[in-house]
Amino acid sequence: MTLQEEIKRRRTFAVIAHPDAGKTTLTEKLLLFGGAIHVAGAVKSNKIKKGATSDFMEIERQRGISVATSVMGFEYEGVKINILDTPGHEDFAEDTYRTLSAVDSVIIVIDGAKGVESQTRKLMEVCRMRSTPVMVFINKLDRPAKEPFDLLDEVERELKIRVRPLAFPIASGPDFKGVYNLYEKNLTLFTTIDRQTANAEKVEISDLASTEIDEYIGEKFANRLRDDVELVEGVYDEFDREAYLRGELAPVFFGSAVNNFGVRELLECFIQIAPSPRGAHTETRDVLPDEPKMTGFVFKIHANMDPNHRDRIAFMKICSGVFERNKNYLHVRSGKQLKFSSPTAFMAEKKSVIDEAYPGDIVGLHDTGNFKIGDTFTEGEKLRFTGIPSFSPEQFRYIENADPMKFKQLSKGVDQLMDEGVAQLFISSLNGRKIIGTVGQLQFEVIQYRLEHEYNASCRWEPISIYKACWIDSDNQEQLADFKRRKHTNMAVDKHGRDVFLADTSYALALAQENFKDIRFHFTSEF
């Protein structure tokens, strides 16, 4: 197969959702349909349940599982599908944001009874920043759900994206009859008998007006479906694939993942319309996937929890060319040539050494602590991929050394954990103390635990009251200097030495923005 053909047949995406909407279940069902697994339940949920925050064995176990399920590749009808898993717990949202930098599209799962939830909104913001094409799967129709048109309006309003249903449900909860596929004009009937298998009864409906449909779902629901479909066709424009690919229009499907329902329709449509790997931005130029030379970037680093084997796996997304085992590549940040003798690929639950990988594929690279998130590999060109930002953290604490004999260990541990992207480190301009910023409370516990178990270091947390950290810059150097002087007690630098303003309150931030008009306040590290 040519490079072009390999690219064209790849689909790399992530399933994202508010916790509990059904992301794990849907992912598992996609694998089931893809033949990558044969029974449901094979992919363990990698979510850390609420209330288990101090159960570190559980966290470790989950982390172990999440390596195995970080990337799940499988072949379906000649298409190579790579699903990138994202952590379920919202305290690990930053991890999810970074994973989204490596996908070409996403499927958003929404609970039909709950509608759009907070985490869904945040994740959509990240997709919007990158113009990532999104498809929506409204789940749990076997339970009483909101009215479909209300759900469609809610998605449009809350996620700020135009929608186009490509399937439409017939009632929900105990009355749930099935889903009418507007794309292929057929009806899939809901029967719970097929729960664990990949088949559901499907009937072709050439003409919705014919009474044939009444036989399947009864007159009342048949009439309702006719009205609904008429309304859909009247209200929504024809599905516009180009608008979907630009990230402006989301096709919507309905179903029940746990019952295998509507999943095949989603997958069939997905492989037809979802994008294959596209160009990626770098600081100097755009890289196209069919360029002959290999380029790729690290978007995730996973540490081994076993203190005797402190090696890590760096996950690299291939952006162009063909990646080959045992070939020398330039690690752009260090300027070193490196080759990998055992790069791994992930097929379903298995990890195996590969000889080649193509754009869209994710390769696991063995790392002894040299790689950082965002690192680029090329065949010699000094590129740096953009679009892997850090987000302004929301929780802050001073980190202090709790064991004077272990200063070095602590410093190394903190550095490596920051490279992995577990949290962000800021150095206060006021007192030179180290401040750790995270998106969730759980990270502080994870950091403390990992410092102890992996680096033999111990830390202590001290409170600091900060509302938000934002990166600042300005073309008006005088004003910038003035700002930094006046706000000296609230200034810090990040690990790259860039200026960061630590606002005490939302009011202080608003006031600073108001009073210093020439200063730009950034909420992601990439600007």
CB of 438 to ligand G4P, least distance (A): 21
* Site track 411-450 with ligand G4P (rule: CB under 6 A), x = hit: ----------------------------------------
Q: Does 6 bind ligand G4P (CB under 6 A)?
A: no
Instruction: Using CB under 6 A, pick the residue from 7, 16, 21, 491 that binds ligand G4P.
Output: 21
CB of 139 to ligand G4P, least distance (A): 5
SS3 label, residue 391: strand
For residues 107 and 373, which CB has a smaller minimum distance to ligand G4P in the complex? 107
Instruction: Using CB under 6 A, pick the residue from 47, 146, 397, 450 that binds ligand G4P.
Output: 47
Residue 491, strand partner residues: 501
Instruction: State CA 325 to chain mean position distance.
Output: 27
Instruction: Using CB under 6 A, pick the residue from 256, 320, 438, 490 that binds ligand G4P.
Output: 256
Q: How much is the CA Rg of the chain, to the nearest whole Å?
A: 25
For residues 22 and 251, which CB has a smaller minimum distance to ligand G4P in the complex? 22
Instruction: Using CB under 6 A, pick the residue from 6, 7, 14, 24 that binds ligand G4P.
Output: 24
For residues 21 and 305, which CB has a smaller minimum distance to ligand G4P in the complex? 21
Phi, psi at residue 151, to the nearest 5°? -65, -40
Please give the structure tokens belonging to residue 477: 């150097």
CB of 472 to ligand G4P, least distance (A): 36
CB of 255 to ligand G4P, least distance (A): 7
For residues 43 and 205, which CB has a smaller minimum distance to ligand G4P in the complex? 43
| CA 345 – CA 343 distance, rounded (Å) | 7
Rounded to 5°, angle at Cα 358 from 355 and 361: 95
Phi, psi at residue 387, to the nearest 5°? 95, 20
Part in contact with ligand G4P (CB under 6 A); list of ranges 254-262, 350-358, 403-411, 443-451: 254-262
Tell which positions 465-524 bind ligand G4P, by CB under 6 A. Answer: none
CB of 27 to ligand G4P, least distance (A): 8
CB of 109 to ligand G4P, least distance (A): 6
* Residues 503/489, Cβ–Cβ less than 8 Å: no
For residues 21 and 318, which CB has a smaller minimum distance to ligand G4P in the complex? 21
| CA 356 – CA 105 distance, rounded (Å) | 23
Instruction: Using CB under 6 A, pick the residue from 25, 101, 295, 438 that binds ligand G4P.
Output: 25
CA proximity to 116, closest of 136, 130, 99, 88: 136
SS3 label, residue 494: coil
Q: Does 257 bind ligand G4P (CB under 6 A)?
A: yes
Across the beta sheet with 186-189, the strand order is 167-170, 178-181, 186-189, 202-204
| CA 471 – CA 83 distance, rounded (Å) | 33
- DSSP calls for 20-54: TSSHHHHHHHHHHHTTS-SSTT-S------TT-TT
CB of 510 to ligand G4P, least distance (A): 35
* Residues 525/471, Cβ–Cβ less than 8 Å: yes
Tell which positions 132-171 bind ligand G4P, by CB under 6 A. Answer: 139-140, 142-143
Tell which positions 64-123 bind ligand G4P, by CB under 6 A. Answer: 88
CB of 264 to ligand G4P, least distance (A): 14
Instruction: Using CB under 6 A, pick the residue from 22, 296, 389, 437 that binds ligand G4P.
Output: 22
Please give the structure tokens belonging to residue 445: 């516990």
Q: Does 387 bind ligand G4P (CB under 6 A)?
A: no
CB of 417 to ligand G4P, least distance (A): 25
CA proximity to 323, closest of 279, 277, 286, 354: 354
CB of 8 to ligand G4P, least distance (A): 31
By CB under 6 A, how many residues form the interface with ligand G4P?
A: 19
Instruction: Using CB under 6 A, pick the residue from 6, 20, 90, 454 that binds ligand G4P.
Output: 20
Instruction: State CA 83 to chain mean position distance.
Output: 10
CB of 29 to ligand G4P, least distance (A): 9
The helices-and-strands tally (H runs, E runs) of the chain is 13, 31
Please give the structure tokens belonging to residue 162: 């135009």
Phi, psi at residue 325, to the nearest 5°? -65, 145
CA proximity to 29, closest of 20, 21, 39: 39
User: What residue ranges bind ligand G4P (CB under 6 A)?
Assistant: 17, 19-25, 45, 47, 88, 139-140, 142-143, 256-259
